[in-house]
A = this chain, B = another copy of it.
Amino acid sequence: MPDDCHAPGFVAMHASMTAPAIILSHPQLGENIGAAARAMANFALSDLRLVKPRDGWPNERANVMAVGASYVLDDARVFPTLPEAIGDLQFVLATTARNRGFAKQIYTPEAGVKLLREAIARGETCGILFGNERTGLENDEVSLSSAVITVPTSEEFSSINLGQAVLLIAYEWFKSGDATPGYRLEHGPIARKATREEMIHLFTHLERELLANGFLYPPDKADTMIRNIRAMLSRAEFTDQEVRTLRGIIVALAEGKHRKRGTNPQG
């Protein structure tokens, strides 16, 4: 946006913000800032804002902890106060564990990131706000946010580390926009899932050998045995390669038996 757009009353905004900013208010340990940066990189977030980090900025321990994600730290912006850090944002979720004693809308991380997706789809600028390690967010800080996210935890042990909190929320953010199917069959580059025809050939091959070797006995139980074997093999979702391997195993076992028989007719 060119500078001459700065008409009186104009508030500078990210023209096309496609993901929420992560705002850490008064973070204490460089390690946690680094862990937060790494979690952001894992889940495709990049706008990191720090309100008055206790140990100054930049922070070498943050860089060590961020490993390959130090580009997030390099681009991080430091602000003297929270109102300045979130001034351009239109929808801010605060993360808190404690009950605040004043009325707030509380969302689970999953429901909260859905709100963020909806806000971004409407063109709004968004952020997620995290308090410091010792006390979390102050009530004054929470009161500047639009709503609150609380991570559900075991009641016996609810304390979540700052870096871990960023990780969980960033993970939910990424998941809410991710199309990975809940289940998939992974196989090697030249394999594919077997067709029904390949499976039926496997079945008939195996059953022919089982019949020849007297396994399908007594005859009135043979149909049930065949159905059970087919069900068992179908459940495994073989690839075409695995079907070929199995047919090779059948051949090897059956021929081995024939060979053994051939060399030792009394065996």
Binding site for B on A (CB under 8 A): 35, 38-39, 41-44, 67-69, 99-108, 110-111, 114, 148, 151-154, 156-161, 164, 167-168, 171, 174-175, 178, 180-189, 191, 237-239, 241-242
Contacts and interface: CB of A to CB of B under 8 A. Distances in A.
A42 B157 contact: yes
Contacts of A171: 151, 168, 171
Given A102-B187, A167-B164, A187-B102, A180 B43 contact: no
Given A42-B160, A105-B184, A108-B183, 13 more contacts: A38-B161, A41-B154, A42-B154, A100-B186, A102-B187, A103-B188, A103-B241, A106-B185, A111-B183, A151-B171, A154-B174, A167-B168, A168-B168
Contacts of A191: 103
Residue from A111, A157, A168 whose CB has the most chain B CB atoms within 10 Å: A157
Given A67-B159, A168-B168, A168-B171, A106 B41 contact: no
A189 to B, nearest CB: 8
A8 to B, nearest CB: 26
A183 B103 contact: no
A157 B37 CA distance: 11
Contacts of A183: 105-108, 111
A95 B99 CA distance: 35
Nearest to A191: B103
A4 to B, nearest CB: 34
A188 B102 contact: yes
Contacts of A175: 108, 110, 152
A153 B43 contact: yes
Residue from A67, A101, A182 whose CB has the most chain B CB atoms within 10 Å: A182
Contacts of A41: 154, 156-157
A154 B44 contact: yes
Nearest to A163: B164
